Structures are given as structure tokens and as C-alpha cells.
A = this chain, B = another copy of it.
């Protein structure tokens, strides 16, 4: 993957802050310029939320967080960046001025993305000296969780710029979608705007309340659209007869005089107040912060679900997450961890995700085993049992497990796991994992596992290949010198 080395963010509001979080969490240093007196506080809040969500999103090893620096001037901020993201308020004159200043101060080969949600890149790049490196990179809120970036070039934008922008997004967990022709509002906001207008009419005319309208969306097509879009969903609805048949049926309906969309609704004080009141009722006492947390937890859960979809290959935003994690694992490398085998290996760092807890906020029983399983997977990657090895028909299966619960993990709690290799031979790995409360260092749970190397095609135990055994040996030798952990060899109900 092609990576951004250094980023600059001009504007640190909700959108700019989201970009800053994406860069920092991907290990990229970010220089920020924002004259707003509260910029540091606002960026800090977005970053806080982002970090909470991100750590729950993936158990893969995140790189060391990038360095965040607030600069006094725009010129200082952009000087050394190879990706500069502009997220200032949505006014053509202001954006054009800021982008022209960025252009003058940045390296000529620095990429310049604008977060505009509707302005044309051709208009934005008009006064630039190197307009070929300007493009629209339009993200969606919350930027630190929603992967989409609409990439749109103007008349003077070069093809190389578009290609460079597209390939730099996956390493920060994002998905670039190139919009072929520039139009105001691009694709996403066009669709949203159309639906939004109709929604406002429905509220204004008292057809329903904002809560009813939201329920209509989230109990029906919202669930469809999280994973397939509009056309693929309708393709299925067409059945075996196919998309053309479906369209032929749908066509006539377009002539019906259903929507109010020919008129623009007047969003006057009365309508604003009506929506405001209905929205207050809908919130049912939940603060913005609480709603934000619920939204982020749900997004994390949905993304993780889609990661496991399509027979484990991942689907849509979940496929992107899977590829992102593979990249994180590859980038993390095993060398550093294997350098210190004199102690149990510290393998997984995570936080207790909302999808993992029961109604008391305690981590559910089987999620402990999930963390232990992730720990085994991390060990296997370290000894060379990676995707390619498994593809060749070799793998380790867990045949036996013993778990002790010594404490409780709670929602949002930082936990980590270690692995001590108790013994190993050609076919077997006998391991002992411990989950710790990272804040206190207390052990919360332990797991003793026996893993068996198998020939997956034959479905039988078989010796591991030498390339793997050679990596196991130094760990086994070093760990043989460690004291036997408390609890090894216990059976259920044994007296202490």
C-alpha cells in the first residue's frame, strides 16, 4: 500500500477533527492550523471518541499514534505535508482563498484534498499555481468510523492525482470512490438532499413525526443499505427474472405524482421549531454525547458483523475493515515481539466493545474466549502460520480449553493478553493465556489450550512444517525457564 508520510489539516471542526483522528490513529504525524479559539478542545473531543471506537473496532495492532502539532500559521502547518486536507466552512470564496494559500506554501507535489460537500473542484482550483493536485475528498460523519470518501477531480486535476489519492486511503481505513463527472454535491449529498426534502414535507404536512420517519428508515431499508446499496437490493427483488424485469415493473410508478419534490420546502421558524420539539421527544432524555456513543458502538458492531460476512471473506465496509486489519498485522511485523521471549508474549491490546457486554455492562462469557482465540491467532501469525500457510492446507486447531474467571471485564475497559508457551512438539502447542486489566495489571481470566497441527485436507493431525517449527523452538526454550503459571493442569471444581 502507498502511505501518507505526513499530513496537514486546515480546519479542525467535527469533519477536520475526524480526518485528524484517522491520520493519527494510522500512525501519521499531523500538523493542524485552525484559528478557532476552541480548536484544541474540539479536536481533543473528536479524537477521544475516535480512539474509543477505533480500539473496539479492531484487535489488530495499531501503529504508534502519530504526533499532533497545532501550528500558528497555515504556512507552517502545510510546509512538509504530502497530504493536506482542507475542512474550512462551506463558502466558495473562503475555501478558494484558503486553498490558494495552501497551494502557495505547500510542496508542489503535496496532494491537496478539500472536504467540501458540494462545491465544484474546478471552482476551487481556479486560482492555484499547481491546480493539478487539487481534488475533492468528501468524507461522512463520523469520519473516524464511516469509510467513504468521494474523490472528485476538477478540469485541471491530473489523473495521477486521483490515482494517488485513491491508493492512500485504504492504509488509513478508508474507501475512496471516484466520481467520474463533477457536479455540485457529487453523489452522496445528491441522494441525501432528495430524501431530506421529501422528509421535510412529510413533517411539515403532519403525515408523521421525526421519530416515526426515523423508525420507518431504521426498521426497513436502512438495514438493507448498510450492506447493499439501492441497485443491488433491487436486483435481488427482481428475482431470477433480473434487473431489467424489475425496472420494467418499477418504471410506470415514476409517472405517479407522488412526491412533493417539485417544490422546495420553506424551512421557516415554525418548521424548525416543530422538528426541534419532535427531535427532543425522540431523544427520550439521551444527551448528544450518549447518542454519539450509541451510534459509534452500533457502527463498530455493524462493521465487525460485515467483516465476518460472505463466508468470512468480508462484505462491503466489512471487507475493507478486514483488508485494513491484514495491513495492520503485516505492518506490525513479528520481529519486535519475538525480540523479547524472556517473558510471556504480550499479544492483544483491546477495549471491551459494547457488543461484548451484557445488560450489566460485564463482558459476556464467550467474549473471553474470543480474546483468548485472538491471542492464539496472534501467536500463530508470529510463528509463520499466516494466510498463505493456511491456504497451503496446514493449520492449528484448538482441541481442548480450560478457562478460569478471576475477575470481571467491563464496558470500555482496556485489557491485554499474554501467552506463555508451556510446551511444544511437532504436532502440539500447549499454551497458557492470561487476560489482564491494563490499568491495574490484575489478571481477569486465564486460558490453558492444547492446539493440534493438522493437515486440513486429510483432516488428520500432522507435523508442522520446519519453517514454523524453527520459529517455535526459541520461544519454547525461553519459556521453559519461566515459572509454571498458577492454574495449569486444573480440572473444573478442583480444590485450590
Contact = CB atoms under 8 A, between A and B. Distances in A.
Nearest to A449: B492
A264 B254 contact: yes
A493 B262 contact: no
Contacts of A480: none
Contact of A214 (B118, B230, B357): B230
B402 A401 contact: yes
A214 to B, nearest CB: 3
Number of chain copies forming the complex: 2
Given A118-B256, A216-B148, A490-B491, A358 B312 contact: yes
Interface of A is mostly: helix
A223 B317 contact: yes
Contacts of A267: 247, 250-251, 254
Contacts of A254: 193, 196-197, 200, 264-265, 267
Interface in A409-425: 411
Chain A interface extent, by class: 35 or more
Nearest to A322: B359
Contacts of A223: 145-146, 226, 299, 302-303, 317
A397 B223 CA distance: 34
Most buried by B among A217, A308, A315: A217
A236 B261 CA distance: 26
A331 interface: no
Given A238-B288, A305-B305, 16 more contacts: A14-B239, A145-B223, A183-B207, A188-B216, A193-B258, A210-B229, A213-B229, A215-B229, A227-B295, A228-B295, A228-B298, A248-B272, A254-B265, A301-B309, A402-B402, A448-B492
B400 A195 contact: no
A164 interface: no
Most buried by B among A212, A231, A317: A231
A184 interface: yes
A359 B294 CA distance: 30
A249 to B, nearest CB: 9
A177 interface: yes
Contact of A237 (B14, B297, B489, B493): B14
